[in-house]
Structure 1
């Protein structure tokens, strides 16, 4: 089922906003890192650099996934969302591991590194928080209206980014106010652990989707409840689902009265299909009709 133009436009706007914000933050944090030398800013910069790669890949995935099914991709192109998410997870994990290693080295060093111009660094981080919060607000609105998996995942990722960014502000403030330079390394390590945890969650979710894992239990239960009470359906079996990106593929066998006309049987199947799609707009539904046996 191809996306309508309004849905495509909203998803594209969210992806473009993500790329724009990530690019702006990379430039600002590069300058802040040069001015301060703070590892916590380096952690935040690495996260923003990963965000830029992820956002670019996400925007490409949004555009590609919106393409309708064709001869070579009869079930559409939405699996690209899961493939891109898998790559994103590996990038984030590598970045988090590098920050974690450097943070531990600095923490156990005999002399903590000197930080400079903490005020400038704090100013950049505050701008980063404001830009990220505005982006999250827009992505949340788009995800609520379109249900796009890439936009939703990107939104959650940027919500997680607010934590290390606020941590960098705290580290710079502690260094400037109390001369606690080691706080920078501690907060960078915590930020790296958060990045690794997020990467693991993204990787697992994408892996399951690429392995054709069934839809969430509540979705399967909802479909079964609709079929169970649908007028004209005497029973059902072989309810199967799989996910690909934002789509849910559903196959269902329903049992119908064999004495009724073929036209009446098809009418029941069509109405049931519409009801399932109305409850789950991202569903692609195939219904098989069998003769009910008493």
Structure 2
């Protein structure tokens, strides 16, 4: 099995597991909310419902992005990953606004009712934390292998879910032990803020990729070092990069001895490409070869 096929399989496994976990959490939290009436649990329920929708969309995006390049999409379909991540951020931001509005309204009215059956609610939320933690561990392992932005966005969001879930347990405990009904609304408001910050972070990364923002500075510096140290390369210029989903596209001009044969120049370029791919395997490398000292033609400023 090739690295690409293995990465696709890992990404799909993360997407399927995410859908299964989200569905289980929605069912469990629906029951917990019916038992307790807690707004903090309602906040985590709304979040899990959004998770299920996004996980289904993410799974579809992962499957579509795994398709190889074709006549209509010469560079592949990996931009679908960025589109899915951007959609995730918008949905998360909207859900956080609904939760925050409900929490502020309860705080302003000051007549929040104490939740009921706190023990049942705490048990369900504890179950949710364990299930979510297991999913996050697997997603982070997959993301470390594949660098898939959809899996990373999903993992980041589920990791952020752990804090509201812990807050919901504290809110239920405070309501039961101390009679502090407003703690429930305060925790829900905090959960909404966490969701909003996470949504902005995810959305910015996806938007940057869709706008062809260059690769991170450390990646560019690494490519620079590889090219400078490569045998036969006298210099280089016009190093350009962009990201699309989990792939990075690299385009550069290398300067070679103009007196050598075309076969020799080709061998140097092919060797350099392999060197870059060994360090950055999820890349697409295009190398143009120029003779040392060549002057730009006025009609070809991109040389």
Q: Is the 8 A contact 1:92 1:196 kept in 2?
A: yes
Q: Deviations over 1:240-293 (max 9, x none)?
A: 001111110110000000111100100000010111111111110000000012
**Alpha-carbon distance between aligned partners in 2 of 1:134 and 1:114, rounded to the nearest angstrom:** 32
4+ residue runs over 3 A deviation: none
Q: Normalized against structure 1, the TM-score is what? A: 0.97
Do 2:114 and 2:179's aligned partners in 1 also have CA atoms closer than 8 Å? no
Within-5 A mapping of 1:211-222: 211-222=211-222
- How many Å apart are 1:146 and its aligned residue? 2.4
Distance 1:275 1:48 in 2: 44
1:185 aligned onto 2:185: yes
Instruction: Give 5+ residue unaligned stretches, structure 2.
Output: 295-303
Q: Show the counterpart of 1:194.
A: 194
Whether contact under 8 Å (2:14, 2:139) holds in the other structure is yes
Q: Which moved more, 1:273-282 or 1:94-103?
A: 273-282
Distance 1:162 1:234 in 2: 53
Using the TM superposition, give the Cα deviation of residue 202 of structure 1 relative to its aligned residue in structure 2, in angstroms.
1.2
- Residues of 1 paired with 2:6 and 2:250: CA distance? 25
* Equivalences, count: 293
**Structure 1, unaligned runs of 5 or more:** none
> Does the aligned pair in 2 maintain the 1:67–1:76 contact within 8 Å?
yes
- Equivalent position SS for 2:95: helix
Preserved contact between residue 81 and residue 245 of structure 1 (Cα < 8 Å): yes
2:244: which partner in 1? Answer: 244
Conservation of the 8 A alpha-carbon contact between 1:14 and 1:139: yes
CA contact (8 A) 1:3 1:66 kept: no
Question: Aligned equivalents of 2:143 and 2:85: distance in 1?
Answer: 16
The farther-off stretch of 97-106 and 148-157 is: 148-157
Report SS of the residue matched to 1:4.
helix
Deviation readout 1:119-175 (Å, 9 max, x if unpaired): 110000000000001111111222222222221221121111100011101100111
Indicate the residue corresponding to 1:170 in structure 2. Answer: 170
Aligned equivalents of 1:199 and 1:143: distance in 2?
A: 18
Tell me by how many angstroms 1:110 deviates: 3.3
1:231 aligns with 2:225: no
Between the aligned partners of 2:141 and 2:104, the Cα distance in structure 1 is: 39
